[in-house]
Amino acid sequence: MPEISEKKQKHYLFNTSVIVAALGYFVDIYDLVLFSIVRIPSLQDLGVTGQNELLEQGVLLLNMQMLGMLVGGVAWGILGDKRGRLSVLFGSIFLYSVANIMNGFVSSIPMYAFLRLIAGIGLAGELGAGITLVSEVLPKEKRGYGTMVVATIGISGAILAGVVGEYFGWRTSYFIGGGLGLLLLFLRVGVYESGMFNNLKKTQNVTRGNFVSLFTNGRRFWKYLKCILIGVPIWYVVGILITFSPEFGIALGMEETVSAAKAVSFCYLGLVFGDFASGFLSQRFKSRRYIVVAFLLLTAVFVGVYLLGHAFELNTFYTICVALGFASGYWAVFVTIAAEQFGTNIRATVTTTVPNFVRGAVVPLTISFSFLKDGIGLVPGALILGGISLVLALISILSLEETYAKDLDYMEPV
């Protein structure tokens, strides 16, 4: 019976695999953004006072979450190729949902830090497993639409996080996120494992989930690195330009104070539409590469508008944040490209680790930004860092093969 259902669901876009992957990513993004929104009120409620202490403890919690995502990205990716896409998809949803609920009960900073670590591990697995599963269960001509749906619905979770974080207490906000994740697990009944993975399990003498193999072959390593570099400009925009938007507002001579929370919300609004547009256009024009190139060039334009402007009106500044989000909204296509570049036996490993390493790139980006800022100034430092990120991304995407409608049913020699 599962075999029949698995074959049937390949013929339509909104099957349960796509829906569960999209809703799982929705809750994933909700939790990521929610922590940024409730960070200060939650720390104050736990007795942290003073601007410096709030910043230090906030950085500690963010680093614990990032450490969890880097560890989880590798662990879940390997498990996805060894045990299956579904076990990772639902295992990660369960872990970050329980961690979310437990975050609502924290009473100390060490407990909070530990739970952010656990949440980070859980959050690291859902997107890669979901994109891998969707890529393998949909026909090759439609999988771009499937990953577009996953990313578009998923990123809109940031909007819900903004509303909930604004109007509900921080503990209740965590409970809501965890509850949404656990409710999602009820949909697992109608989801079936990828046929490609099931066939792979029956194949003898095939190594699955060998993370080290990505570094032992020169051609494979450079392809893997290029997949990561393509996504770095997205987190340059979010992690530098949007996160530090209040400081940029001052540097650009704005009279009104920029709200980081509003800048994040407007940026994610743009990301929702950008991910839909980039995914749709990659299908419409039958090319992943050239659509990513177009969006990278558009990102360069709006980075220039953002950093080279002066004394913006507040509403104009927030409009530019939306434009930056739209231009850098090629996350769905970027993760799809990573999934399509590698064979079935290491596909989940790649698709899970690549987006988490891109998220982890925020650390060297912020360190480099601090160094450049202190040396040549806020705006010139951001321009140089943005230029490097965009040039490396353009070189990387132009040197990768086109993967639209590529047959994914093959093994990677490891």
Q: How far is CA 42 from the centre of its chain?
A: 24
Identify whether residues 135 and 164 lie together within a single domain.
Answer: yes
* Global confidence as pTM: 0.86
Identify whether residues 233 and 356 lie together within a single domain.
Answer: yes
Asked if 163 and 224 count as a contact pair (C-beta separation under 8 A), the reply is: no
Identify whether residues 338 and 252 lie together within a single domain.
Answer: yes
The domain of 372 spans 213-398
pLDDT in tens, the chain (414 residues): 344 344 444 446 667 778 888 888 898 888 888 887 787 788 889 888 877 787 778 778 878 888 888 888 889 888 888 887 778 888 888 898 999 999 999 989 999 999 999 999 998 888 888 888 888 888 878 888 888 888 888 888 888 887 888 788 889 999 999 999 888 887 665 666 666 666 766 676 667 778 888 898 899 999 999 999 999 999 899 888 988 888 888 888 888 888 877 888 899 899 999 999 999 999 899 999 999 999 999 999 999 999 998 888 999 999 999 999 999 999 889 999 998 998 888 888 898 899 889 988 887 888 888 888 888 888 999 999 999 999 999 999 999 999 888 877 777 776
Identify whether residues 276 and 168 lie together within a single domain.
Answer: no
Identify whether residues 13 and 152 lie together within a single domain.
Answer: yes
Asked if 97 and 181 count as a contact pair (C-beta separation under 8 A), the reply is: yes
Give a yes or no: residue 411 inside a domain: no
Asked if 40 and 58 count as a contact pair (C-beta separation under 8 A), the reply is: yes
Domain count, the chain: 2
Give a yes or no: residue 39 inside a domain: yes
Identify whether residues 185 and 46 lie together within a single domain.
Answer: yes
Angstrom distance (rounded) from CA 128 to CA 77: 7
Identify whether residues 42 and 128 lie together within a single domain.
Answer: yes
Give a yes or no: residue 406 inside a domain: no
To 10 degrees, the CA torsion angle through 283, 266, 250, 330? -20
Give the CATH number for residue 283.
Answer: 1.20.1250.20
Identify whether residues 178 and 278 lie together within a single domain.
Answer: no
Give a yes or no: residue 202 inside a domain: no
Identify whether residues 182 and 224 lie together within a single domain.
Answer: no
Identify whether residues 26 and 147 lie together within a single domain.
Answer: yes
